[in-house]
Structure 1
Amino acid sequence: MRASTARRDAAARLRDAGVASPERDADLLLAHVLDVALGRLPLVDGLSTGQREEYDALVARRVAREPLQHLTGSAAFRHVELAVGPGVFVPRPETELLAGWAIDQALLVGRPPVVVDLCTGSGAIAKAVADEVPGAEVHAVELDEGALAWAERNLAGTGVDLRQGDLATAFDDLLGTVDVVVCNPPYIPLEAWESVAAEARDHDPHVALFSGQDGLDAIRVLERRAAGLLRPGGVVGAEHADVQGESAPAVFAASGRWSDVSDHRDLAGRPRYLTARLAR
């Protein structure tokens, strides 16, 4: 079968299944099967029987709303590549904005900065910081054993200090010394179960998704822990749901420990992450 025909048929199946980006997913899966770059797909003529069978099987799994990154085994995040699969939260493009903020803040320190990534998951933010901030002392923590295994794989050789633990108690040895705390915590309210995309609800670890009735339980814990970890004048950034553009920053503003509490929008214009500075 011609590759173009297989791609067209796959895109139609994905579109009928309600996949948000059927054409691109069809292309990415085909490039994965053929082990070629996306830009070379137009140069591919036909598929072997084995390639067609593998492609059909992957498309069927995507139709069932298995995450694309689980099928290819990798996810791009800023300038790094991450191994991902069952048992770990797949990093989202919008989180790259939070990572970029953390990188910018670390670069402003003027000496090798100390950066802590709480709830590291796959290790995405920690790996990006280590990659883009030369000399940074980067620490990361993850509670879930399944996710920790993926983080260990992704952070091997990066120099990141990776530990297993709870964000509420992690890094007692760093109290009062950290320049930047960054966190992509769970933030979905339990009552919002039905509204979560099937790819996340059915495949991402629930500990990485849900955080109490209002979705802010982890944010409250983060506010307290960041206040202990940061040096005076240090900064914290945390992702939140697009409906928490006021409620999440309010957790920090209400404590009286922070200045410059701000919220930031993603590329689609939706509230996406908060930042704050520990009062001196």
Structure 2
Amino acid sequence: MSNDSLTERIRLRPLIVAAATRLAEAGVGSPMTDAEHLAAHVLGVERMRLALVPMVDDDVAARFEQLIEQRAARVPLQHLTGTASMGEIDLSVGPGVFVPRPETELLFAWALGFLETHGHAHAPIVVDLCTGSGALALAIAYARPDALVHAVELDRDALRWARRNADARIAAGDTPITLHHGDVTDPFVVSDLTARADLVVANPPYIPAAATLDPEVADHDPHRALFGGADGLDVIRAMVPTVARLLRPGGATAIEHDDTNGAGVAALLRRQGDFTDIEQHQDLAGRPRFVVATKAGR
């Protein structure tokens, strides 16, 4: 290789450091992490392997800097890479569908723990309400290929993303899930599953209408997937009877909520009268994040 060729290459780490500074100035909450994710995306390598790529070509640097400018404009990282993760799987995401958040990983882990400790003579039936991209449903199906997983979504744009992700998991050899177009507040939604579900999980629209949101959320996530009325509980309030109807006695639910509404969701489940063992759970930041409960009876 000639010296001329060598001078056309650029050191990667200073590019990433400069990009992180640019993102921090733009108000991005995790500037170095995002800069590294975008560098890895452009290079087609895992983030942890960036150290093995000390130099990059001009065209790679240009593509990276273009993505950094978009991220500085507060376009979500996941829209730029085209993927988000849940559990052990990656999902395709983009305009028209809610981007799964790391906080939901804790609800997912609880759901797997429940299925593990409550063995069944039959294949467990799991229902994911407000599935969005299919994140929870597909992650559970991947971790528990013995489960019969159903996912319900009202928004047709989101449902298209869920179908795309479900098809990708089938192509990868995973157990298929069953997708339903339906309203989780409809008293008769997926009526054929009444009193059959072992587990119902939900990450519904739950943000109070007056909440102030980061641009990544306010400008890019579908508002239909975000807001739950004035107090953030409109969808959950109407959904709780559906959860109670779907669960068999001894089955359980886990419902994600706004960090102001842990007590409110617990009260709704208690008022329904069908639930025991109602517990509030916090996220990694110590904020109320999801409530679990068991359907009464055996």
TM-score normalised by L of structure 2: 0.90
Shift of 1:40: 2.1
- Distance in 2, Cα, partners of 1:176 & 1:37: 44
Q: Distance in 2 between matches of 1:201 and 1:215?
A: 15
**Which residue in the other structure is 2:208 paired with?**
189
- 2-side partners of 1:130 and 1:142: how far apart? 17
- Corresponding residue of 1:137: 148
CA-based RMSD? 1.2
- SS of the equivalent of 1:190 reads coil
Query: Which residue identity lines up with residue 128 of structure 1 in the other structure?
Result: A
- What residue in structure 2 maps to residue 230 of structure 1? 247
Instruction: Name the SS for the 1:236 alignment partner.
Output: strand
Matched position secondary structure for 1:242: coil
Aligned to 1:221: 238
- Rounded Cα–Cα distance in structure 2 between residues aligned with 1:54 and 1:27: 14
How big is each residue's C-alpha offset from its partner over 1:42-98, in whole Å with a ceiling of 9 and x where there is no partner? 222322222122111100110011110110111121111111111111111110111
1:86-97 mapped onto 2 (5 Å cutoff): 86-97=95-106
Does residue 122 (structure 1) correspond to residue 133 (structure 2)? The answer is: yes
Residue 106 of structure 1, CA deviation: 2.3
Alignment of 1:22-101 (within 5 A): 22-101=31-110
Secondary structure class of the residue paired with 1:196: coil
Q: Give 3-state SS (helix, strand or coil) of 1:50's partner.
A: helix
Is residue 270 of structure 2 the alignment partner of residue 253 of structure 1? yes
**What do the CA deviations read for 1:84-140 (whole angstroms, capped 9, x no partner)?**
111111111110111122222223232310100000011110011111113101000
- 2:119 paired residue number: 109
CA-to-partner distance for each residue in 1:168-193, whole Å, 9 max, x for gaps?
2321111111111100011001111x
Q: Which residue of 1 aligns with 2:5?
A: none
Q: TM-score, normalised by structure 1?
A: 0.96
User: How many residues are treated as equivalent by the alignment?
Assistant: 278
Percent sequence identity is 49
Which residue among 260, 281, 286 is the counterpart of 1:243?
260
CA distance in structure 2 between the aligned counterparts of 1:188 and 1:258, rounded to whole angstroms: 24
Specify every segment of 5 or more residues in structure 1 that has no aligned partner in the other structure, as ranges: none
In structure 1, how many angstroms separate the alpha carbons of the residues matched to 2:72 and 2:14?
A: 18
Question: Who wins on radius of gyration, i.e. which is larger?
Answer: 2
